[in-house]
Amino acid sequence: MSNELDLTKRETFRQWTYDKLRYCDTDRQGHVNNAVFATFCETGRVAFLYNPEDPFAPPGTEFVIVRLTLDFRAELRYPGRVDIGTRLLSIGRSSFRVAHGIFKDDTCHATAEAVMVLFDGKTRRAVPIPESLRARLEAL
């Protein structure tokens, strides 16, 4: 499914959040350090899934990221802010995949894909995604 989507286009994403660049995000090469992009993805994931009033993860379970793939597409320069788009790609039995696009102005600086698994907080094992959560994720 991700093959059919162009993650470098803003119109691919409907869920948006942002991060403000910090001076210390830069490194001595002069641009924003590439590890900070993992943080941008986390900001996108949290905005996508975090709802303190009505949590996505059923009681006793939690989402755990098991894989993150980052494609760096352009050097990112301080100062400014990045817009972070997030989109559901697919849902499996106990996992789902989301895509991110990191934009500054009109330029896509990175795209990413994250695989999240629903874990039982006690057994630390993957558990099936309940239908209600599946429906809610698909609605995003």
As a whole number of angstroms, the longest Cα–Cα distance in the chain is: 48
Query: What's the rounded Cα separation, in Å, for the pair 46 and 37?
Result: 14
Q: Which residues pair with 113 in a beta bridge?
A: 69, 99
Q: Minimum CB separation from a second copy for residue 33, in Å? A: 4
Unique residue bearing structure tokens 């900070």: 36
Q: Minimum CB separation from a second copy for residue 135, in Å? A: 26
Q: Minimum CB separation from a second copy for residue 52, in Å? A: 9
Nearer to a second copy, 42 or 127 (CB): 42
Nearer to a second copy, 12 or 34 (CB): 34
Q: Minimum CB separation from a second copy for residue 115, in Å? A: 9
Query: What's the rounded Cα separation, in Å, for the pair 71 and 108?
Result: 10
Contact residues toward a second copy (CB under 8 A) are 18-20, 22-24, 26-31, 33-39, 41-43, 46, 50, 64-72, 78-79, 81
Nearer to a second copy, 69 or 90 (CB): 69
Q: What residues contact 56, with CB distance under 8 A and at least 6 apart? A: 49, 50, 63, 133, 136, 137
